[in-house]
Amino acid sequence: MKKNLLVLLLYLVGVHNLLAQDAWIRVNQLGYLPEIQKVAVWASKEQGKKVKKFRLRDAQTHKVVYRSKEVQNFGAFTAFESTSRLDFSDFNQTGSFYIESGTVKSPAFRIGNDVYDHTADFVLRYMRQQRCGFNPFLQDSCHTADGFRVFHPSGDSAYVNVVGGWHDASDYLQYVTTSANATFQLLFAYEHNPDAFGDEHDAAGLQGSNGIPDILDEAKWGLDWLLRMYLGKDQMYNQIADDRDHAGYRLPNQDKVNYGKGRQRPVYFITGEPQGMKYKNRATGAASTAGKYTSAFMLGAELLQKYDAVYADILRDRALQAFAFGLSKPGVSQTAPGSAPYFYEEDNWEDDMELAATQLARFTGEEKYLRQAQQFGEKEPVTPWMGADTARHYQWYPFLNLGHYYLASSKAQNKEQFIGFLRQGLEGVYQRGKGNAFQMGVPFIWCSNNLVAAILTQSHLYRQLTGDTRYEAMEASLRDWLFGANPWGTSMIVGLPEKGDYPVHPHSSLTLLHNYRLDGGLVDGPVYGSIFNNLKGLTLMAADEYSAFQSDLVVYHDDFGDYSTNEPTMDGTASLTYYLAAMQEEGKKQAEEAVGQEEQETKR
């Protein structure tokens, strides 16, 4: 009882101090590379306040090391009445610092070439934790009886071996939609930045090197499952389990949800028609899923060729079959709901077939695939959420179109057209966010952090491809948003940085029941208040530590009960691997350039 009273007292003291404060400085708590745009955001509850200057202090000595008047004042945003951008981009000393303006201080942060080192490998911890079948985190296996087929033209209930893959999020459903995309994202990250990844785990995810980079081990885990879910020709599955899974908190290896076949779970066959129970999706075909299969298989074949040539041949053969099946069944194959109206409402499929065709074109050299890729790509110039105020759940998925990037970087005669498509998407998000101090132009729909990761990737790829830096400030702001430069002052990635503010109460049985940390998991992120207030079965389990920063516009809660903002997702986490690896390599390049400059100055 005394302990509970002490906890309550400490909480009330903290709330009192928070309420007494009327201004905050938000920074990227992970840190900044020396030669990169560096901006903090000052935010106040008081209307009409403006910042004129600020300073940086050394976090160890507290001495002032930098003063600046590079301030851009903005008005109200979310819970704040006044906001400002504090630009210290021209300060490139390395070390630990904090920003101060008046009596307001930021958290300490680092500036250094190594601040992103090993972060891409770090988020793979969550991917391994999400494994189905053998789970290396739990040192146990789960869902080993999957599964029995449903909606199959030859009849339901027959057994099909689909053990493996990843749990989609904190529930134990499994979707090809997200898993194939996550697999491709992992492969894409390695393709572009192979030196950023280490080898500290074996194929089973256990500690110990096996001569294969960990990210390829993880991607192969996804590919193995996809091969079980697609048997070739028209034998394609889309999903394991449904929302009957939502039956309370439990570990995956203790899952006792019964779908009427003992430990077996339903495996949804793609029919191209609406599927579901009380609620149904709006499926119109198979191409959205078939395209994702094709892309993952084809890129996987190329990157794994030197490790297992026979396996690579199987992947190529299955990729060609999946693409042909997608052409025969144009349209979307959405995930199937059950007793709740929630499902992945993917409405686009040309982007999936475009990306698939680019991979076939690159690795077969056949001109017909390049023509098909361009034809599909021209049908959706911009992923529709970019620049929009809202969208349905996963309505436009994947959240970025990497097919546009491959065509923009290819030898296609109209490559400039696809560069323009990439620019249009970035411009839409930029225009929507340029009026607020956080430069946040991403709509606060469910899984908004996944959209942030997508636009970061598109911005970085566009900048590398063209040398055009017009969106670099937006890219920096959205990168910083994920690591604490947001209204709530928290990183959105569990465990990063180690000494920072990050989610400690994610919506997860592993954390709630056993206090396991979901290292590397990217949580869903903030949602519109209107979305939060209308979701079913959502109840906060503790007092809201971020109550001062909530608004009618948007909310975020570090709370077990909030599955809308604080649930990590497997595909969102996978989509970060490219960008974090790219930042690590950029830091390495800056370090090498700095050494080169020092050597030249010494020679002088």
As a three-state string, the secondary structure of 485-508 is CCCCCCECECCCCCCCCCCCCCCC
- 553-557 average pLDDT score: 98
Per residue in 42-62, pLDDT (tens digit) is: 999 999 999 999 999 999 999
Q: Are residues 276 and 415 in the same domain?
A: yes
Query: Is 328 found in the same domain as 260?
Result: yes
Confidence band, pLDDT 50/70/90 cuts, at residue 20: low
Residues near 51 by beta carbon (within 8 Å), at least 6 away in sequence: 42, 71, 73, 84, 86, 101
Q: Could you give the percent of the chain with pLDDT greater than 70?
A: 96
Is a pLDDT exceeding 50 seen at residue 18?
A: no
* Residue 572: closest CA among 397, 347, 368, 350: 397
CA 234 to chain CA mean position, Å:
31
Confidence of residue 263 (pLDDT cuts 50, 70, 90): very high
- Name which of 301, 302, 353 is nearest 324 in CA terms: 353
Pairing of strands 148-150, 266-269: parallel
527: closest CA among 448, 429, 455, 436? 448
Residue 82: which domain range?
2-111
According to the model, what pLDDT value does residue 19 have? 52
Question: What gap in Å lies between CA 283 and CA 524, rounded to an integer?
Answer: 25
Per-residue pLDDT tens over the stretch 281-332? 999 999 999 999 999 999 999 999 999 999 999 999 999 999 999 999 999 9
The CATH number of the domain where 96 resides is what?
A: 2.60.40.10
pLDDT band at 569 (very low <50, low <70, confident <90, very high): very high
Q: What is the mean pLDDT of residues 526-536?
A: 93
For residues 104 and 141, membership in a common domain is answered with: no
Q: Give CA–CA dist 43/128, Å, rounded.
A: 38
Confidence at residue 593, expressed as pLDDT on a 0 to 100 scale: 84
- Model confidence at 6: pLDDT above 70: no
**pLDDT top residue among 479 and 1:** 479
Q: What is the spatial distance between Cα 352 and Cα 292, in angstroms, rounded to a whole number?
A: 6
Cβ neighbours for 283, distance < 8 A, ≥ 6 positions apart? 271, 272, 273, 274, 275, 331, 332, 333, 334
Number of separate domains in the chain:
2
Asked if residue 546 is part of any domain, the answer here is no
Tell whether the model's pLDDT for residue 8 goes beyond 50: no
- Using the structure block, give the residue that is written with the tokens 């190529």: 316
User: Whole-angstrom Cα distance, residue 264 to residue 346?
Assistant: 27
Residue 558, Ramachandran bin (φ over 0: left; ψ between -120 and 50: alpha; else beta): beta
pLDDT at 10: 43
Answer yes or no: is 72 within a domain.
Answer: yes
Task: Categorize the per-residue pLDDT at 413 as very low, low, confident or very high, splitting at 50, 70 and 90.
Answer: confident
Look-up: residue for tokens 């998407």?
425
Same-domain pairing of 582 and 474: yes
Q: What is the pTM of this model?
A: 0.95
Sign of CA dihedral 250, 254, 218, 406: negative
Nearest to 361 by CA among 294, 266, 441, 281: 294
Do 105 and 494 contact (CB within 8 A), yes or no? no
Residue 511 located in a structural domain: no
In a domain, 581, yes or no: yes
pLDDT surpasses 70 at 448: yes
Which residue do the tokens 């609406």 mark?
274
Residue with tokens 């191209």: 272
Q: Given 111, 145, 174, which residue is the final one in a domain?
A: 111
pLDDT at 11: 45
Range name among 275-284, 409-418, 522-531, 587-596 with the lowest pLDDT average: 587-596
Regarding whether 291 and 224 lie in a shared domain, the answer is: yes
> What's the CATH code of the domain at 418?
1.50.10.10
What is the Cα–Cα distance from 604 to 595, expressed in whole angstroms? 14
Query: Which of 23-37, 241-255, 376-390 has the least mean pLDDT?
Result: 241-255
